[in-house]
Structure 1
């Protein structure tokens, strides 16, 4: 899918797999079994997942695959996005999102439960129903745009991880 520049002259696009892997090398503090992980992209516990997610991002740029995986953004930047990151307004929008999710699930053989599209349904509400977030509508719109144009991989934590699993 081709992109044209917005009036400001810039086109945001989803990151590539290499860009994603490089973004993980940011000095974050990751530990497993008491060991500090220096690089999650090469550590045995994390490298396969990080490489698989990189393949998902690469597929967005692959002409052989992206017919099922990308649609034009609705932010005015002239770029493209994964359909699940764009607020749906028609049944066609919903079908495009479902096809894209299915394509990513096929690529991972269904083994990755937390792919970048995991939180995308929530993120799309920031654009389709920004009034719900009053008085922070501008912030909601900004995050909708950023998430859609860059296909952000966002997760959430519900509880703090236990320090001692033998305690309640």
Structure 2
């Protein structure tokens, strides 16, 4: 069963509007991450990720989402792996390519954070046709348009920023 995706439109209904929101959410996430430094490597609960691991996961998934946005700029999609998402105890689980290490310091993640999110913004700004009717499969939300992928990239930051608080 696929997750509901109608909430994505709350993040904006046009490419430029969602790009502006993405800029805001990148900054808000970074601010929240910087406030977690006193317990950066310590999970809040048993079995949960630490703020460092959450941030590394966000970097890895943002990197993958920038590749998807770039794919929408090509005449044909490249051959990406398409896997169905896994649920555990009612929670969406990260795909293997989004799993973090044991945790890295903010100093070790900061450069990758910055480069990854610059690439994500550049990939979004490079989209010429926000009405592109092609879709690409998301592991949990099914077929998403280019605008929905941008909305999802923005939502992913919001979701994990809330986990930091």
- The alignment's TM-score, normalised by the length of structure 1, stands at 0.29
The structure with higher relative contact order (CA 8 Å, sep 6+) is 2
Larger Rg: 1
